[in-house]
Amino acid sequence: MSLVTILAVYPFALLYDGLIAEHFHSWPLHWRTANFPIFLAPLLTYAVMPWLSRVLRRTRRRGPGRSAAPTGLTAGPHDAPTQARRQAFGYHR
């Protein structure tokens, strides 16, 4: 997950420093420093990180000998109690 965070933060930090930060040179240091997390933290938290996590989910979960399907979604003979609960509560796939 830290790699995902780095991939998400770096381009936006670069854009911020290159396009936006130059407009705040006359501001005091504490206000200039506060701009970065005030603008980028919500953007990264609610838009970029969820999207990037979904995009990279398959590559993060896949290991040697593992399929891309998340575990627990396939029903085998050992899942009879789970299948019974699903039928009892009206869950249909």
38-77 pLDDT per residue, tens: 988 898 889 888 888 888 877 766 555 555 555 555 555 5
Q: In the structure encoding, which two tokens stand for residue 22, read together?
A: 């130059």
In sequence order, the 6+-apart residues with CB closer than 8 A to the CB of 48 are 8, 12
Supply 14's token pair: 């670069």
Domain-embedded: residue 50: yes
DSSP reduced 3-state for 61: helix
Q: What per-residue confidence (pLDDT) applies to 3?
A: 82
Structural domain boundaries, residue 37: 1-61
Distance CA 52, CA 73 (A): 22
pLDDT reading at 16 higher than 80: yes
What pLDDT shows up at residue 48?
87
Q: Does residue 13 or residue 80 have the better pLDDT?
A: 13
Whole-number percent of the chain with pLDDT over 70: 63
- The three-class DSSP label of residue 7 is helix
Answer whether residue 29 is part of any domain. yes
Q: Is residue 35 part of a domain?
A: yes
Does 30 fall in a domain?
A: yes
Q: Is residue 9 part of a domain?
A: yes
Q: Residue 81 falls within a domain, yes or no?
A: no
Q: Is the pLDDT of residue 92 over 70?
A: no
| Total structural domains within the chain | 1
